[in-house]
C-alpha cells in the first residue's frame, strides 16, 4: 500500500534549537494517528513541514507522493488549526461557500458539507452565535472540501466538552473509514487512547515511541496494578499471602506486579477462594506509557 504520508530522517533546526531530529514515520490511508508530546516537543513544527508552510533541513517528506507544499500535495491535504477562526458575521453556509469558491469548487456543496458535520440546522445562523464545538465543526467542514486524502488536525478537540469531543471523533471515524488518513495532535490522552489506531510520541524533537497502544504497552513493560478486596474477616490472611501488598481504602489491598509475574500472582489470588471478595486488574494507562517514553531522555 502507498503511504499517504511518508517521512524519513527528518531534521529541522531553528537557530540553536534542534526542533526535529531524525524523525521517520508513515501514515497509511484510513489510519488515525495521534501525535503526542510535551509543549515544545516538535509537533507543530512537524505539521507545518507536512503542510509545506516551513522548509526543513534534512531527510525526505512525501505527501500523497508529492513534495510538501507543492500544488499536488496541497490539493490533497487539509489542515485544521487548534482555534479555527471565522468571520462572526457570516453564516456557516456563507463561510463554507466562500472557502469553496477560493478552492475553485462549486459553492453549492456548502450545505452538504455542513450536513456531514451535523450543522445543517445551524447553517443559516451567524457563526458569532455558534458554540466552540460548532465552530470546530465549521473548521472540519472546511477541511473536507475537495475530499482530502490527509487531514492534519492540530489539537482539534481542545476546549470542547466531552460530548462534542465524542461527536468530533465519530466524524473522524467516518472519514477514516472512507480512506482519509488523519494525523492529529492532542494533549488529551484518554480520548486518543480510544479513538486512534497508532500513537507517535515525540520528545525534544525525537520520535521516542511509535505503535498501537498494545505495542507501546508491551514495549514499556510497566507493572499492572491489582486491587484485591478481602472477604469479611480475611484481610490479615490475604495480606500474609500477598507480600508487598499495601492496605488501601475500604480494606482493599493494592499490589503492583511486573507483566511477567501477572498470571502467577492471579493464580495465587484465585487459590485463596472465598477469602477474596473481589479483584480489579488495572493495566497501565496511556498516561503512564506516555510518561515512561517521554521522560526517557530526562524531560
Ligand atoms: N519559528 C521558530 N523560531 C525559533 N524556534 C522555534 C520556532 N518554532 C518553533 N521553535 C522551537 O522549536 C521547538 C518545537 O516547537 P513546536 O512548536 O513544534 O512544539 P509543539 O510540540 O508543537 O509544542 P506545543 O504543544 O506547545 O504546541 C520548540 O523548542 C520551539 O521553541
CB under 8 A, 24+ apart: contacts of 161-170: 161/133, 164/131, 164/132, 164/133, 164/136, 165/191, 167/118, 167/133, 168/133, 168/136, 168/137, 168/140, 169/194, 169/195
Ligand 1 atom nearest 12 alpha carbon: 12
Boundaries of every domain in the chain: 5-218, 223-283
Instruction: Look up residue 252 and give its DSSP letter.
Output: -
Cell 450543522 belongs to which residue?
A: 119
Q: Residue 198's CB: how many other CB atoms inside 10 A?
A: 20
Which residue lies with its CA nearest to atom 5 of ligand 1? 14
Mean pLDDT of the chain: 90
User: Ligand 1: does its nearest atom lie under 6 Å from the Cβ of 216?
Assistant: no
CA 255 – CA 248 distance, rounded (Å): 10
Q: What whole-number percentage of the chain has pLDDT above 70?
A: 98
37 φψ region: left (φ > 0), alpha (ψ -120 to 50), beta (else): left
Query: For residue 136, what pLDDT is reported?
Result: 87
Query: For residue 1, what pLDDT is reported?
Result: 64
Q: Residue 286's CB: how many other CB atoms inside 10 A?
A: 20
Instruction: Look up residue 226 and give its DSSP letter.
Output: E
CA 114 – CA 195 distance, rounded (Å): 23
Residue 68 has pLDDT above 80, yes or no: yes
Which residue lies with its CA nearest to atom 26 of ligand 1? 39
Query: For residue 299, what pLDDT is reported?
Result: 45
User: Ligand 1: does its nearest atom lie under 6 Å from the Cβ of 40?
Assistant: yes
38-55 pLDDT, tens digit per residue, is: 888 999 999 999 999 999
Ligand 1 atom nearest 46 alpha carbon: 18
What's the grid cell of residue 36?
Answer: 503526542
139-197 pLDDT, tens digit per residue, is: 989 998 988 999 999 988 887 788 878 888 888 998 899 999 999 998 877 778 878 99
Given the cut 0.85, state whether the ipTM is greater than it.
yes
User: Ligand 1: does its nearest atom lie under 6 Å from the Cβ of 204?
Assistant: no
Let me know: does 198 contact 30? Beta carbons within 8 Å: no
Q: How far is the CA of 240 from the centre of ligand 1 (A)?
A: 53
Fold of 5-218: Rossmann fold (3.40.50)
230-263 pLDDT, tens digit per residue, is: 999 899 899 998 888 999 888 899 999 998 899 9
Which residue lies with its CA nearest to atom 31 of ligand 1? 40
Q: How far is the CA of 41 from the centre of ligand 1 (A)?
A: 7
CA 209 – CA 291 distance, rounded (Å): 11
Which residue lies with its CA nearest to atom 9 of ligand 1? 45
Domain 223-283 has CATH 3.30.70: yes
Query: For residue 157, what pLDDT is reported?
Result: 84
Which residue lies with its CA nearest to atom 25 of ligand 1? 39
Q: How far is the CA of 18 from the centre of ligand 1 (A)?
A: 10
CA distances in angstroms from 48 to 15, 65, 235, listed in the order given: 17, 17, 57
Amino acid at each position: 500500500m502507498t503511504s499517504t504520508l511518508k517521512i524519513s530522517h527528518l531534521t529541522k533546526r531553528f537557530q540553536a534549537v534542534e526542533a526535529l531530529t531524525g524523525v521517520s514515520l508513515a501514515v497509511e490511508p484510513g489510519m488515525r494517528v495521534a501525535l503526542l508530546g510535551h509543549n515544545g516537543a516538535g509537533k507543530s513544527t512537524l505539521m507545518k513541514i507536512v503542510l509545506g508552510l516551513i522548509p526543513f533541513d534534512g531527510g525526505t517528506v512525501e505527501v500523497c507522493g508529492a513534495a510538501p507544499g507543492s500544488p499536488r500535495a496541497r490539493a490533497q491535504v487539509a489542515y485544521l488549526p487548534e482555534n479555527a477562526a471565522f468571520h462572526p458575521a457570516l453564516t456557516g453556509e456563507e463561510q463554507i461557500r466562500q472557502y469553496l469558491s477560493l478552492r475553485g469548487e462549486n459553492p453549492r456543496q456548502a450545505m452538504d458539507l455542513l450536513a456531514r458535520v451535523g450543522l445543517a440546522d445551524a447553517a443559516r445562523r451567524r457563526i458569532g452565535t455558534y458554540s466552540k464545538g460548532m465552530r470546530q465543526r465549521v473548521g472540519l467542514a472546511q477541511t473536507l472540501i475537495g475530499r482530502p486524502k490527509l487531514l492534519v488536525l492540530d489539537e482539534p478537540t481542545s476546549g470542547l466538552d466531552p460530548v462534542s469531543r465524542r461527536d468530533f471523533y465519530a466524524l473522524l471515524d467516518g472519514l477514516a473509514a472512507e480512506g482519509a488518513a488523519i494525523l492529529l495532535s492532542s494533549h488529551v490522552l484518554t480520548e486518543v487512547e480510544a479513538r486512534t489506531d497508532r500513537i507517535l510520541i515525540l520528545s525534544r524533537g525525537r520520535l521516542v515511541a511509535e505503535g498501537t497502544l498494545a505495542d507501546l504497552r508491551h514495549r514499556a513493560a510497566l507493572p499492572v496494578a491489582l486491587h484485591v478486596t478481602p472477604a469479611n474477616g480475611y484481610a490479615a490472611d490475604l495480606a500474609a499471602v500477598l507480600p508487598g501488598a499495601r492496605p488501601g481504602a475500604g480494606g482493599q489491598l493494592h499490589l503492583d506486579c511486573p507483566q511477567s509475574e501477572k498470571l502467577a500472582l492471579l493464580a495465587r489470588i484465585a487459590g485463596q477462594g472465598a477469602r477474596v471478595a473481589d479483584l480489579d486488574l488495572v493495566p497501565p494507562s496511556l498516561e503512564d506509557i506516555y510518561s515512561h517514553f517521554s521522560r526517557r531522555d530526562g524531560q
